[in-house]
Amino acid sequence: MSVALRDVPAPEPAEGFALLDVAFSGLCGTDLHICAGEHSRAQPGIVIGHELVGTLAAPAGGLAAGQAVFANPMMHCGTCDACTRGLVHVCERLRSVGIDRPGAACARVLVPAGGLYALPDGAALADAALVEPLAVCVRAVRRSALEVGERVHVVGGGPIGCILALLAADAGASEVSLSEPSATRRALAGGLGIATVHPERPEPVWDVVFDATGVPAVAASLGRWARVGGRVVVVGAYPPAPVPVDLLRVMFAELSLVGTRIYTRDDIAAAIGIVASGRLGLSRLVSEVVPLVEGVRAIETLRAGTALKLLLRP
């Protein structure tokens, strides 16, 4: 699948949706999979962009036009077993703006009206563009049951991996390290103050191990990073096929293997608070803010692995 800049019709108001004037749209690994034709749901011609922040073009959700908002791109069905139990973030038919509906790599987009979060006055919208990936990490750290003083290792040095490392340190981990085969990404992580270790020399000394890769070749080695009684948290999305896992290590060392998927309302609220506080310095993750007209170049840059996080600006 190729990537191109195209004119598309401006979205019209629709019931259940709000019109958002996009300020920034973040690009991530999911967008690369979509652009490569590797996503199981995204269809050719879709406008990408599910990390979105902007201002309301019209009143919606009890908020006035012009209000700066983060928009949750996810849409749940409301009728599956997960939804009826209140677990809407793991809806069996979960859909997303930028994957199943036109996304935010544009000037104006329709977003679910029930997923609007007013941003604090004076919030930097470029920083708020990182709320979505940060919320993913907030959820993962909560799922890990990380305790103050525990040691944490992160496998994978992309934006999610780096945010996980920063967030774990902020949550009280006594030591945090990261492994990543790319020298460029190791250097980027090091620039954030994250200690990096050799990716092919696992040491089973870590209480909590976060897998931020989604790379099948990594799965079998995850248990070798965790100490006896440790927890392995799968954060990166794997392809929809079985992958090898060392279940004997899971059994013998009594490891806990934990899954985590996107975020809840509480996770989003926490992420907005963290961004507003500025205490993680997340703006350091943004390698470049790219004008929308150079979006194709942005995808090529991200695919080349020479940048950490790129934001598109209409």
The fold for domain 17-118+281-313 equals Quinone Oxidoreductase; Chain A, domain 1 (3.90.180)
- Residue 1: predicted pLDDT: 62
Q: What is the pLDDT of residue 62?
A: 93
33 is annotated as an active-site residue:
yes
Q: Boundaries of CATH 3.90.180.10 in the chain?
A: 17-118+281-313
Instruction: Indicate where the chain has its CATH 3.40.50.720 domain(s).
Output: 134-259
Output the pLDDT for position 38.
Answer: 85
> Tens-of-pLDDT digits for all 314 residues of the chain?
678 899 999 999 999 999 999 999 999 999 998 998 888 898 888 999 999 999 999 999 999 999 999 999 999 999 999 999 999 999 999 999 999 999 999 999 999 999 999 999 989 999 999 999 999 999 999 999 999 999 999 999 999 999 999 999 999 999 999 999 999 999 999 999 999 999 989 999 999 999 999 999 999 999 999 999 999 999 999 988 899 999 999 999 999 999 999 999 999 999 999 999 999 999 999 999 999 999 999 999 999 988 999 999 99
Three-state helix/strand/coil letters over the chain: CCCCCCCCCCCCCCCCEEEEEEEEEEECHHHHHHHCCCCCCCCCCCCCCCEEEEEECCCECCECCCCEEEECCEECCCCCHHHHCCCHHHCCCCEEECCCECCCCCCEEEEEHHHEEECCCCCCHHHHCCHHHHHHHHHHHHHHCCCCCCEEEEECCCHHHHHHHHHHHHCCCCEEEEECCCHHHHHHHHHCCCEEECCCCCCCCEEEEEECCCCHHHHCCHHHCEEEEEEEEECCCCCCCCCCCCHHHHHHCCCEEEECCCCCHHHHHHHHHHHHHCCCCHHHHEEEEEEHHHHHHHHHHHHHCCCCEEEEEC
Whether the model pTM is above 0.75: yes
* 134-259, CATH topology level: Rossmann fold (3.40.50)
Catalytically annotated residue among 33, 50, 89, 153: 33
State residue 2's pLDDT score.
Answer: 79
Which residue among 30, 196, 213, 260 is the active-site one?
30
Residue 213 annotated among the catalytic residues of the structure: no
